[in-house]
Chains A and B, each alone.
Chain A
């Protein structure tokens, strides 16, 4: 994993500020979607975010709508991982299913500041930041296998082609 610059936000970053409802049926292309990421929360984000940047936020990140674009627009904008105190349930699923890694770590969030560079190591389950190294628990296998496949669509393709694939990793 490469180092990434941190964008820091508060609690309850909801799907309408990440990807406004008015775009949900209009913007379909990844580049277009990326241009509007976080528009209602931080209008400067989309223009300045760089590939590999990291979002760090408080509780209940991604609450609200089930719209998958809230996860995919961040991925298309180049975000490599979102670290939050907690995630809203559907956003958590959507992020995994879009191949966007998510990490839950209150300690990391408390200790990481906006603008610093941090390094995330998924194998070791740790985040290296200025104020220290923070461990996070590994994701369940069923979830990891989707991330590894590059998202649910790719994972399901594997499943369809090879029905012997372990059911529990579906």
Chain B
């Protein structure tokens, strides 16, 4: 019997508990809190400074004195510990920055104090979210316990019809399978459709694997992955693949060509409906961006829809590029100009409104239509606000009409 990708990277059979040393450990603004935990451990220096990646993104630039103080503590910690992989507030959202900087490599084990650490599976890495105490503990010991997950295969075939994208596919999958279908499990995305998926689109799947409860999501590295890494890889790496005779818990099949645009309705990500069922619903704030859908291809499709149009006067639309690099790409192609002309507010790359900390909080009774990955009650502000999730195309088309609108009408 062969082994799955996850079994190979962790070196044991599904269900076993292993003690491992990760290749990289990510933390963000929560590094201040983690450094306090670390201080409690009674060791002075982190064990492997080169494995630590710290990216400031959650509340950048600092919106209050408290946040500013947090950032200051982190910068001092970075200095004291000699951490070279530090990305200050001008770089962008951690998952995009880590990926575009070439740390997300096939076969690597990457852990992070953020639930969407699953993202790096887009590049064939094993990556999973962990808690703050665990990060402090790994900093000190270079060790952590992990349970080797069972794997669910998701076989994708066909190609996207007009107006549908990776976001619609993963929403459809989560809606059908449920928010806990993959709890404590790995997802392996495979099938004939994968080779046509850009790395940016694969990131959408791997990022949102977390919303199905998955420990990690994985795409087998292929020529797209290797072409990108030829330029960007930070270290040597060795691709790891599941054996053809490996044991999978289930194989789920999806045909991309029959997909309609999808919308996740409040307050759970698996409350997904085809767009026809929610069309016409008025909303107040649109958000295009975040670590899920803030890359060049996302901004471009939004601009294609909003070119020479104005957003509806009753809505406000925020653009949140996933990173400065993606922002610059869009800027140079005139995409940012189109979006600004249409009336969108361009935010700096960071988490901003996604987690309701600043830059676009919702008032009681307000409704947001967002390209983020999560629509939990109160996440973007008031407990009495609502969040709907959709693709950048759907948000852009809806921005024109002021109500949820099928993007196929504008493409």
Contact = CB atoms under 8 A, between A and B. Distances in A.
A65 B19 CA distance: 24
A68 B133 contact: yes
Q: Give chain B's interface secondary structure class.
A: loop
A66 interface: yes
Contacts of A93: 130-131, 134
Interface string B363-385: 00000000000101111010100
Contact of B115 (A20, A66, A142, A157): A66
Given A16-B379, A25-B29, A66 B42 contact: no
B308 to A, nearest CB: 37
B376 A17 contact: yes
Interface string B159-186: 0000000000000000000011001100
A65 B137 contact: no
B258 interface: no
A80 interface: no
Interface string B37-61: 1001111000000000000001100
B374 A64 contact: yes
Contacts of B383: 20, 39-40
Interface residues of B, number: 49
B183 A86 contact: yes
A17 B17 contact: no
Interface residues of A, number: 47
A87 B184 CA distance: 9
Interface in B344-396: 355-357, 374, 376-379, 381, 383
Given A20-B356, A22-B357, A156-B41, 9 more contacts: A14-B376, A24-B30, A40-B383, A63-B213, A88-B213, A90-B129, A93-B134, A97-B133, A153-B137
22 contacts: A12-B180, A14-B268, A20-B356, A20-B378, A20-B379, A22-B381, A40-B377, A40-B378, A40-B383, A60-B179, A64-B115, A64-B374, A66-B115, A68-B131, A86-B183, A143-B145, A152-B133, A152-B137, A153-B136, A155-B137, A170-B143, A170-B145
